[in-house]
Structure 1
Amino acid sequence: MMMPQMNRRHFLGTSLAGTALALSSPAIASKSITIGQKQLFALSDGYFDMPASLFLGAPKSLQAQIGDPARIAANTYAYRAESRTFLFDAGAGTSDFITHAFPTASKLPEDLSSTGISAEEVTDIVITHMHPDHIGGLAIGDRIAFPNARIHIAATEWNFWNAAGFAETAPEGMRPMVANVQSLSNVIKNNVSLHGGAADLGDGVSVLPAPGHTPGHTAIVLDGGREQFVVVGDLTVHEDVHFANPNYGWALDVDGEQAVATRVSMLDMIATDGLIMGAAHVTKPGLGRVERDGSGFRFQPL
């Protein structure tokens, strides 16, 4: 399924011609920026080592270049608004499912604490998609980790992962992950607010559909007036693969064809509109701009 051309202005209702970036201070420029008059923090949840063969279509030479296993960063973002504190994705958490497979992840709580933000201060958590490395941190065992936060998730995404019987009927390799997601969903369900994929969440925070990686995968857009910022979730999974070669797949995409179409369209939007991008799986802190480069793109870290 092909995706229509992305247009940020269609979703945000703005005709801003340009953007600007202000670093909060030279000392913390690598992980803190201002969007409008508000502060955004880039946070690290650690990293994952994954087989290079999961990058579908990537030649052996590229797989050797990125390493096998390939090291994949895990980033999240926190945003202070007027009376609200947002977290964009929640890290991998501490469930056995995550810690046995990826002992190098689950570092978000420490990094969040270093910004002076406590778990109790977080009022809103916006989820790009429900893979365990993005939602595992929402719960600690059978207890919600951010007790005062509303958790914003696309209804399409929630319904896909929580379909009755899915843990038994999913492809065999997915079943432990589905069971993990459904167990966590049961803990957080009373704090979840579902949206339709394109929604204004207030305080300059909007979401827009970016499907393919998962059915309800979304991007998060911050409108700070002159400054514009977009969190892209798993639109890209490695800076040396998916920018120069946006047509290469990723084995964990639910719909590979749609994921590629979304990636190309959204990277084109980000480059055209000069947006600042926050990427989950670009070397920390994952902040940069996107430039066109031949038939592909190039990520320019800030």
Structure 2
Amino acid sequence: MTSDQYAVLVDTGVGPAGGEAAEWLGTAGRLPRLLEAAGVRADEIDTVILTHVHLDHAGWNVEGDRPRFGNAEYVVQQAELDHARGSTTYRKLIAPLGSQLRAVDGRASVAGLTLLPTPGHTPGHQSVLTDQALIAGDVLVHPAQARWPELVYVYEQEPAVATTSRREVLRLAAELGVPIAAAHVSCDQR
């Protein structure tokens, strides 16, 4: 996604074959191929916004022990960093970001986009509001949650808080007339 003069990437996906998320999910991520197909080089990404620090959302953060997107600022909520600190995911996919990592606290403007705290799935989960969509990460993980926001997802750390975040995301998207882009919801009706 471009935001004015910025090239912004929201989440970095599953990661490479052999990575922890690829092993867990039984499939490798496709982000490098997809970026190449779109004509975007890794060094052109200015900002990487992480909705949260789960393996399947931060898998391509690094290449070896260096940030994959060498010119990018990686942005995550401070509450998410506090929650993840000490975990294997933090050590492997966040700590190597070093000085490229920027923590925000609460609602923030980054690269012309608005970051909205949407906790519940994780304590520091955030969504990204653009002028065209509300990118909601794992706020919604099943289409039924759009109708029944109180439906709990097994991996929600704080289900009541997640329900409140879902309701707020649904309300805001309706109010602004923008679609919700959720990471795992498929509209495929095969």
Q: Judge same fold: TM > 0.5, yes or no.
A: yes
Stretches of structure 1 that go unaligned for 5 or more consecutive residues are 1-78, 167-177, 286-302
Q: Of 236, 251, 268, which aligns to 2:140?
A: 236
Q: Confirm or deny that 1:140 pairs with 2:63.
A: yes
Q: Of 5, 8, 14, which aligns to 1:92?
A: 14
Q: Confirm or deny that 1:179 pairs with 2:88.
A: yes
TM-score normalised per structure 1: 0.58
- CA distance in 1 between counterparts of 2:109 and 2:89 reads 29
Instruction: Tell me by how many angstroms 1:156 deviates.
Output: 1.0
Q: Of 166, 173, 183, which aligns to 1:280?
A: 183
Match of 2:98 in 1: 189
Q: Confirm or deny that 1:157 pairs with 2:87.
A: no
- CA distance in 1 between counterparts of 2:148 and 2:176 reads 20
Match of 1:262 in 2: 165
Q: How many residues align?
A: 187
- CA distance in 2 between counterparts of 1:234 and 1:106 reads 17
Match of 1:106 in 2: 29
Instruction: Tell me by how many angstroms 1:284 deviates.
Output: 7.1
* Larger gyration radius, structure 1 or structure 2: 1
RMSD: 1.8
Identity %, equivalent residues: 29
Instruction: Tell me by how many angstroms 1:143 deviates.
Output: 2.5
Question: What is the identity, as a one-letter code, of the residue corresponding to 1:91?
Answer: G
Stretches of structure 2 that go unaligned for 5 or more consecutive residues are none
- CA distance in 1 between counterparts of 2:103 and 2:171 reads 28
Q: Confirm or deny that 1:206 pairs with 2:114.
A: yes
Runs of 4+ in 1 over 4 A off after TM superposition: none
- CA distance in 2 between counterparts of 1:110 and 1:119 reads 11
Question: What whole-Å deviation, never above 9, does each CA across 1:173-193 have from its counterpart, x for those lacking one?
Answer: xxxxx3133322221132101
Which stretch shows the higher mean deviation, 116-125 or 90-99?
90-99
Question: What whole-Å deviation, never above 9, does each CA across 1:58-97 have from its counterpart, x for those lacking one?
Answer: xxxxxxxxxxxxxxxxxxxxx1234321001111112531
User: Of the two structures, which has the highest relative contact order with CA contacts closer than 8 Å and spacing of 6 or more?
Assistant: 1
- Matching of residues 10-21 of structure 1 within 5 Å: none
Q: Confirm or deny that 1:129 pairs with 2:52.
A: yes
Structure with the bigger percentage of strand: 1
* 8 Å contact kept, 2:19–2:59: no
Question: What whole-Å deviation, never above 9, does each CA across 1:27-79 have from its counterpart, x for those lacking one?
Answer: xxxxxxxxxxxxxxxxxxxxxxxxxxxxxxxxxxxxxxxxxxxxxxxxxxxx1
* 8 Å contact kept, 1:88–1:127: yes
* 8 Å contact kept, 2:83–2:123: yes
TM-score normalised per structure 2: 0.90
Question: What is the identity, as a one-letter code, of the residue corresponding to 1:109?
Answer: P
Match of 2:5 in 1: 83
- CA distance in 1 between counterparts of 2:84 and 2:51 reads 14
Match of 1:251 in 2: 154
Instruction: Tell me by how many angstroms 1:155 deviates.
Output: 0.9
Question: What is the identity, as a one-letter code, of the residue corresponding to 1:196?
Answer: D
- CA distance in 2 between counterparts of 1:253 and 1:182 reads 22
